Structure 1
């Protein structure tokens, strides 16, 4: 039983260390919480924007068909096969759309300082009408296909 006092002393040290660690975590948590009465922090400089690349690869499907691309109500570019355009938008939902006989659209929920890729193509619709088809693609796919396109006119 000679070991009992040493074990009790060690247990006391461990308990004290745990209490100190718990207190430190509680202080850190309290410092990280913002009360409802505190005003929102000021934003200095422009807010970071998201980047969206809209592109159309070269294809015989819809050769000679071109259309304007819009983000919301704003015209972004005039897109032909083998071309791309890039736009920067604030974070949130953005509808990228185009209309050639019928409308094609994709809605993105973009985050600040992120890049997004939208592939545009042309498909046959009802009664042989051409319609734009827009779809979000993964970054590695978009970067590879975009590198083979030329910049579109505004």
Structure 2
């Protein structure tokens, strides 16, 4: 995969850096002396060149500028690529299992089939049992749930602290 570069955002950030530098009356040489970056590097950043976030942080420190202010730029808030339906469903299933956990649903032991039934009642959907099992395993690995065996099936319950 080739390297990603958002030219529009880089230009906005560079313009903000230049504006704040000039407001402080600093030259590129002054910022160079405060950051240790070359004048060419700083000029490139101000002109919208690609850079590292750590460089921006050092420049913010030199300008006494909060990073939040530097990065408060116009940005289209959507992913570069759409999440494939299977990944979106899996992420949503994990989120909803976590919400059931937070609601106290696992105060008593539950089988996967019980979780599926709760999904149908609460969310009006029927995810794949393998997706639910994966989400339950994640909560178990995170130390939030524990399970016991009932024959070949797992019973999940909130882990006692």
TM range (shorter): under 0.3
Determine which structure has more spread, i.e. the larger CA radius of gyration: 1
Under a length normalisation based on structure 2, what TM-score does the superposition of the two structures give?
Answer: 0.24
Q: Which structure carries more relative contact order (alpha carbon 8 Å, separation 6+)?
A: 1
